[in-house]
Amino acid sequence: MLLTRHPSNPILTYKDLPFNCNAIYNPGAVKIGSKYVLMPRVEDGRRDNTLHVAWSDDGVHFSVEPEPITVLGSIDDDLPEKHMYDPRITALEGSYYVAYCSQDFGEVVRIGLLQTDDFKTFRRKGFITEPWNRNCALFPEKIGGRYARIDRPMNGNDVVNVVSFSPDLVHWGESKPMHLEPQTWMRQKWGMGPTPIKTAEGWLVIIHGVWLAVNYVYRLGVILLDLEKPWKVIGQNPEFILTPREDYERVGDTMDCVFSNGAIVEPDGTIKVYYGAADTCIGLAEGRVEDLIRSCRKGM
H helical segments located in 48-188? none
Q: Rg for the chain (alpha carbons), in Å?
A: 18
Close Cβ partners of 214 (under 8 Å, ≥ 6 residues apart): none
Q: How far is CA 137 from CA 32, 62, 113, 212, in A?
A: 18, 24, 10, 26
For domain 4-299, give the fold: Tachylectin-2; Chain A (2.115.10)
- Amino acid 69: pLDDT: 97
52-96 per-position pLDDT tens digit = 999 999 999 999 999 999 999 987 777 789 999 999 999 999 999
Q: Three-class SS of residue 184?
A: helix
Q: Are 153 and 133 in contact (CB under 8 A)?
A: yes
Mean pLDDT of 14-27: 95
Strand (E) or helix (H) holding 157: none
* Domain spans of the chain, in order of start: 4-299
Closest CA to 246 of 8, 42, 85: 8
In this predicted structure, the answer to whether residue 159 has a pLDDT above a threshold of 80 is no
User: Pairing mode, if any, of strands 281-288 and 121-127?
Assistant: unpaired
pLDDT band for position 149 (cuts 50, 70, 90)? very high
CA separation for the pair 148, 141 (Å, rounded): 8
Residue 154 pLDDT class (50, 70, 90 cuts): confident
d(CA 262, CA 164): 21
* pLDDT higher than 80, residue 232: yes
Percent share of the chain, pLDDT over 70 = 98
In 3D, which of 75, 51, 63 has the Cα closest to residue 18?
Answer: 63
The Cα 170–Cα 97 span in angstroms is: 13
Per-residue model confidence (pLDDT) at position 80: 83
Model confidence band, residue 142 (pLDDT cutoffs 50, 70, 90): very high
Number of helices (H), then strands (E), belonging to the chain: the values are: 2, 23
End-to-end CA distance of the chain: 19
User: What ranges make up the beta strands (E) of 171-201?
Assistant: 173-177, 189-192, 197-199
- Does residue 228 have a pLDDT over 70? yes
At residue 105, the pLDDT reads 80
What's at 13, amino acid-wise?
Answer: T
Q: Which residues pair with 30 in a beta bridge?
A: 37
- For residue 158, name the pLDDT band (cuts at 50, 70, 90): low
- Whole-angstrom Cα distance, residue 52 to residue 38? 8
pLDDT of 175 over the 80 cut: yes
Q: What is residue 264's predicted lDDT score, i.e. its pLDDT?
A: 98
What is the average pLDDT value for the chain, to the nearest integer? 95
pLDDT of residue 160: 79
- The yes-or-no verdict on residue 101 having pLDDT over 70 is yes
